[in-house]
Amino acid sequence: MAAPRKFNVFAGSETGLLKGVNTLTNKWDNINQIANADKENEIRDICSSSNFTNELYFGTRSYKVFSYDIREDCIKRVFQLENRKPNCKALKTCGENIITAGEDGIVKVWNNNHELVKEFSSGVTLNNNLCCMIQSPDTPEIIATGGKETDLKIWNINDSEKALFEAKNVKNDWLNLRVPIWVLDAEFIPSTDKIVTSTGYKQVRIYDPKVQRRPVLDMTFDEFPITALSVCPLANNQAVIGNSRGKMATIDFRKGGVVNIFKGLAGSIRDLKCYKTEPYVASCGLDRYVRIHDYKTKELKHKFYLKSRLNCLYLNESCSEEISSKNIEEKMPEVQSNNCKENNDDEEIWNQMEVIKTKRKGDILETGIASEIKKKRLKSRK
């Protein structure tokens, strides 16, 4: 029997395939079978079980949930919470309960037997969508939602009759026109009550519920929607953001500006995750790559092409060791030696080929029609 595969980075794809990456061996593999790939099972979110540290849940757009055991490397359970549209947008766990959020803004809580316990509306209006639902790392029963024309709201799932906090839109612009709302991603800043959000109108905002309903910081980045963000745990005053054009940068909340800009990315960035113990950030998106950068030095540590457009990430830091480029450097000489052998073989093949000399455009070849034309010209001169 084959030994269980070990992965420390997981990525969910649009085709419904969960992909595992091992940054120590520089290898990756599909966890579920390729034959089961289906866009109806597009993976929208990945989270860990609250009761079992080695169990992952990955939720699909059709409300089908897969339970994956990291230690045994197998999918243990597959269950359908419901079958309806609009599609599922986010999946979280709280104790034995599972929390789902649909694109229509309906948040539902399910028990261990997959029975509906509670549901409430996050306030999404008609013809608009919920774009994100996040969970507080310190208090799992606290969640936050936001979307198109639905500003940030904080909820307690145990008492969901009224939101704990409702953000207020910023003041009108210089033309006295209302500023549109489009919250694409958000994250709780660790060890604080603050929340940072990114919008479809290139804005990054920080909210402090204890101070005011309007953002305490409002800044912009580039010219395109900011689709993903992740707060740097080792520097709570910084975050990594990525937009729909593949631009990724580190911003500083105190300076209100950009610190670093990363290069080499292409396509919309769908998810960002910062490591808790090391200054690294993992990214994935529509270019099908998972990249790991050092957000302090901008150095690219790892890069994996996973063959499918990617939606979400999960970092399994419990079995992860320090990320370094030693494995890549050790493999480089082997790659170079193989390349040299291939180059030598190519040179032998080229040397054995017959060299065909070609004349310039002004020269006339002495064969065929050209020679006959030349003879006629010589006769006419005589």
pLDDT at 338: 44
Mean pLDDT value of segment 49-78: 87
The rounded distance, in Å, linking the Cα atoms of 228 and 285 is 10
**What one-letter code names the amino acid at 320?**
S
The rounded distance, in Å, linking the Cα atoms of 56 and 66 is 8
Supply the mean pLDDT for the chain. 85
CA atoms lying within 13 Å on the CB side of residue 254: 4
The rounded distance, in Å, linking the Cα atoms of 255 and 14 is 37
Over the stretch 228-245, which tens digit does the pLDDT of each residue have?
A: 999 999 887 999 999 999
CA end-to-end distance (rounded Å), the chain: 93
Q: Are 253 and 268 in contact (CB under 8 A)?
A: no
Closest CA to 321 of 6, 5, 8: 8
**For the range 247-254, what are the long-range contacts, defined as Cβ-Cβ under 8 Å and sequence gap of 24 or more?**
247/221, 247/222, 248/272, 248/283, 248/293, 249/221, 250/295, 251/204, 251/219, 251/221, 253/196, 253/206, 253/217
Closest CA to 8 of 60, 64, 56: 56
Q: What percent of the chain has pLDDT over 90?
A: 60
pLDDT at 86: 79
Which range, 212-226, 317-331, 332-346, 348-362, is most confident? 212-226
Which tokens sit at 339?
Answer: 């390349």
pLDDT at 253: 92
Stated as kind and residue range, the H or E segment containing 338 is helix 326-352
Look at the pTM and tell me if it is higher than 0.85. Answer: no
The dihedral region occupied by 105, where left means phi > 0, alpha psi between -120 and 50, and beta the remainder, is left
Which tokens sit at 172?
Answer: 């009108």
pLDDT at 176: 94
pLDDT at 32: 86
35, pLDDT greater than 60? yes
Which tokens sit at 284?
Answer: 């994935």
**SS3 state at 134:** strand
The rounded distance, in Å, linking the Cα atoms of 215 and 20 is 38
Closest CA to 193 of 171, 216, 172, 173: 216
Cα 286 to Cα 230, 305, 336: the distances in Å are 18, 11, 30
Mean pLDDT value of segment 308-332: 65
In the structure, what pLDDT confidence band is assigned to residue 379 with cuts at 50, 70 and 90? low
Which tokens sit at 186?
Answer: 């958000």
Q: Are 207 and 156 in contact (CB under 8 A)?
A: no
The rounded distance, in Å, linking the Cα atoms of 205 and 149 is 16
Cα 314 to Cα 49, 56, 57, 180, 284: the distances in Å are 12, 9, 10, 31, 11
**SS3 state at 230:** strand
In the structure, what pLDDT confidence band is assigned to residue 50 with cuts at 50, 70 and 90? confident
The rounded distance, in Å, linking the Cα atoms of 184 and 177 is 22
**What one-letter code names the amino acid at 356?**
I
In the structure, what pLDDT confidence band is assigned to residue 198 with cuts at 50, 70 and 90? very high
**DSSP 8-state class, residue 170:** P
